[in-house]
Amino acid sequence: DIVAYTDEEASAVSGACRRNGQFSSNFLAARKGNPFSETWWTNMKHKLTRLCGAGEFSIEKTCCHEAYAKQPERRLCHIPWGHLEWLKLPSADPDAAEGGPQLDPTRRHSKSELEKLGGRSQHKDGDIAERVKAGNAPAVQLPPDTRMYCLRGVDAMTPHINGEVYWQPWLRQAGTTDSSQTDSRKFDTRFSCQERANGGLGSEEGKW
């Protein structure tokens, strides 16, 4: 149904994605109408359209609509970093984390906000209470027969995000990786490279 990639070590072998593992959504090849995309989109729509409890704009929870908020709602949605992306694996739903959503650590919180948040589960209006409860429903899980293939190691598409190839120990005269240097605190020891005649770099080991 989909093909993705991971940032595992170069020795990792491509194959089925692990249901409780992670893979990048930066690149996905997907079959039209596949259950992975359908489930992800269903869960995102639910988070974006649900009614959150009073004061829940102040916590690490995806909220676009807050109970008892002044209407029409003109505030931007509060979407914590990564929360919608992590939903690609419903088992990683941030709302289901132990202890529940915590206060937004990126901003200060007034006493009135905290008081409102403290009473968020005490909704006097029965209809609002039911809507907030429905909004807290668990994420829909992927169908068990969803087929997900992960490109790993040398097949993956992970960029060199910190220039790690430049941190390998190098023998300038020989034009090769210095295999005698094994201290990973000083060098990136995952590479075994050779300088080619055209000035390029060839590597039999490492993400290259």
The mean per-residue pLDDT over the stretch 85-110 comes to 86
- Binning pLDDT at 50, 70 and 90, where does residue 174 land? very high
Which of 36, 44, 30 has the alpha carbon at shortest distance from 145?
36
Token pair, residue 31, equals 């079959």
- pLDDT of 123 over the 90 cut: no
Q: Specify the amino acid at residue 171.
A: L
Written as one string, the DSSP assignment of 18-86 is PTTS--EEEEEEE-TT-HHHHHHHHHHHHHHHSPBPTTGGGBSS-BS-BTT--SS--SPPB--TTHHHH
Q: Report the alpha-carbon distance of residue 138 to residue 131 in Å, rounded.
A: 14
Token pair, residue 185, equals 């605190």
Strand partners, 203: 193
